[in-house]
A and B are shown apart, each in its own frame.
Chain A
Amino acid sequence: MKSKFVFFSIIILLLFSNKILADDKALAGADFEYGQHLSGECVTCHNSTGLGQGIPKITGMKTAVFIKKILAYKTKEKDNAVMQMVADRLGEEEINSLALYLSKTK
C-alpha cells in the first residue's frame, strides 16, 4: 500500500518536473522554487482564496497574462501606487519565476 503510494508520487513528480522543464525553456531564468519564495511577498495582500475585496486573485494565471499585467505596472502604463512599487523591483528572472510558480498554483 505504502510502496504503491510512493510509486505514484514519483510518477506524478516526474510528469510535473517535465512540465516545468518545458515551460523553463520559454521563460528565461524561471525557477519554480524561487517563484514560490518570491510569492511570499505577494500573499500579504493577494489572499490565496482570491476572496479579498479590492485585491484580485493572482494564482492560476497563465504565464503570458501574468507577465503582461506585471509589465503594465512596471512601465507605469497601469496606475496603482502599490503594484507599481512591487513591480519596480522585479527583474526578468523574478517575473518569470513568479509566472511559472503562480501558473501552477491554484
Chain B
Amino acid sequence: MAKITRRSFVGIMAASTTALSMPSIAFGALPRVVVIGGGAGGATAAKYIAKDSKGAVDVTLVEASKRYYTCFFSNLYLGDFRNYGSIGHNYYGLAVNHGVNMVHEWASSVNSAEKKVYLGSGATVSYDKLVISPGIDLKFNSVNGYSPEAQSIMPHAWKSGTQVQLLKNQVKGMKKGGTFVMVPPPNPYRCPPGPYERISMIAHQFKKTNPTAKIVVLDPKNKFSKQGLFMEGWQKHYPGMIEWISADTHGGIKKINTSTMEFETDLDTFKADAASVIPAQQAGRIAMNAGVNKGDWCPIVPASMQSQADENIYVLGDASIAKSMPKSGFSANSQAKVAANHIRGSLTGSKVFTPRFANTCWSLVATNDGIKVGANYDAKPDKINKTSGFISKTGEDSNLRKATYEESIGWYSGITSDMFS
C-alpha cells in the first residue's frame, strides 16, 4: 500500500471536497488568485482564501524570500529581548496545511488588461483576482545625502532583511560615551510608534553597556505617536540620555554626510558616532507597475480593499491608503481577512460578511514596561472609519505595564501563527 504523506493527504482531501461540493467547476479550471508579497497582508490573504475555499480556489503566493523576518519585534531584537532566529518564519505551513502554491521569485510586472503577472524568471502566472501586498519602498533621496549606498553606514532597518543586524552591531560597537543620531521618517510611514520604540530599545542597550552614550533624535515632525507615553518612559528609565528635537526646533535637516557622519540643520551640525536614518516611504514598486497607485500610495474601496483603479486587484497593508488605519502588521492582517472574504465570495458565491477592521500596536519602552494603542474601524464609502479606541495612560502601575508587555508576546505568537501555519 502506498504511503500517504501529509502533503498527498491534503491533496486528496482538497480533490474530494471539490468533487463533492463544487460539481460545476470540477469540469473547468479552478478560479485563480495570485498574491504578490508574503508579509502581514499577503500571507494572511493567501492562507484565508485557500483555507476557507477548501480547494475551490487555486491560490499562488509570489514572495521573493524563502524566509520572512518580521519588522515587528525587530526592535525587541535590538534590545536583546528576542534573538534574530525567533523573528524569522517560513512558508511550509501555507503550502502543506492549506495547499497554497509557493513561488519564491520577484514579480517583475503586472499586465492588468491580460490579468497576468510576470516573474523575474520570465515565467507568467494568470489570475482572476490579484492581491498586491508588497509593503514599502524607501525614498532614499528624501533625505539630502542619504542613498542606497549610505544604508550600510546609517542603516534604516525599516524593511525585512539584514539591515537590523547591521544596526545592532553598530549600536553595540559604538564608542563609549559616543552619540547616536536617529532620523525618523515623515508621515505617512509604516508603524507610527516604531521609530520611538527603536530609540527606547537602543537606550536600553546603551544603559547596560555604554551608559554615558547619548541619543539625538532629529525628527522631521513636531509630534509623534504615543509621544507622552514615550517621553515619560525615557525620563524614567533613561534620564538625560535621549534628546528629541522637533522639526520646528532644528529647522529641517539640510544635509547629511556619511563620511564625516555629520547632520547639518539650521540649529546646529550634529556629529554622530553611529546613526540610523529612516527616509520617507511609498508603496512597493510593483503596485506602481500595476498602475493602482495615485502618487505614493494606492487608494482602495474601504468595504473590500479593492483598488479604486481596478476591481480585480486588491491592495493590502502598507501600500494602501487605508485611512484612518495606521500602517501596521496588525492592520494588514485585518485588511487581508476582509479582502479574502470578498474575493472568495466573488469567485465561489460564498457569503460576504460586513467588513470589520481592527488594529492594536504595542511598544516596549524598557524591561516589562509595555504600552499600547488600538482601535476598531468600519467601512464608510470614503474611508475606513474609526469607531472606538484606547491608549495606555501615563503613570500606569508597573503590573499593568508588565501585563501589557506579556500581551504583546502573546500577540506576536498569535499573528505569526495566523500568517504562517
Contacts and interface: CB of A to CB of B under 8 A. Distances in A.
Do A and B associate with each other?
Answer: yes
Contacts of B374: 81-82, 85
A84 B358 CA distance: 13
Contacts of A82: 360, 372, 374, 390, 407
B41 to A, nearest CB: 13
A48 B417 CA distance: 8
A76 to B, nearest CB: 12
A45 B411 contact: yes
A89 B353 contact: no
A75 B58 CA distance: 44
Interface of A: 2, 5-6, 33-34, 37-38, 40-41, 43-49, 51-55, 81-82, 84-86, 88-89
B162 to A, nearest CB: 27
Contact of B414 (A33, A34, A43, A86): A43
Contacts of B407: 45, 54-55, 82
A40 B406 CA distance: 21
Given A47-B410, A54-B407, A55-B407, A85 B418 contact: no
Nearest to A42: B414
Contacts of B375: 85
A5 B16 CA distance: 10
Given A52-B410, A53-B410, A85-B374, A44 B415 contact: yes
A52 B406 CA distance: 9
Contact of A45 (B337, B341, B356, B414): B414
Interface of B: 16, 20, 48, 330, 333-334, 337, 341, 351, 353, 356, 358, 360, 372, 374-376, 387-390, 392, 403, 405-415, 417-418
A90 to B, nearest CB: 10
7 contacts: A44-B415, A47-B414, A52-B412, A55-B407, A55-B411, A81-B392, A85-B375
Contacts of B48: 40
Contacts of B341: 37
Given A33-B351, A53-B410, A43 B418 contact: yes
Contacts of B356: 38, 41, 89
B70 to A, nearest CB: 14
B406 A54 contact: yes
B49 to A, nearest CB: 12
Contact of B376 (A6, A53, A85): A85
A52 B337 contact: no
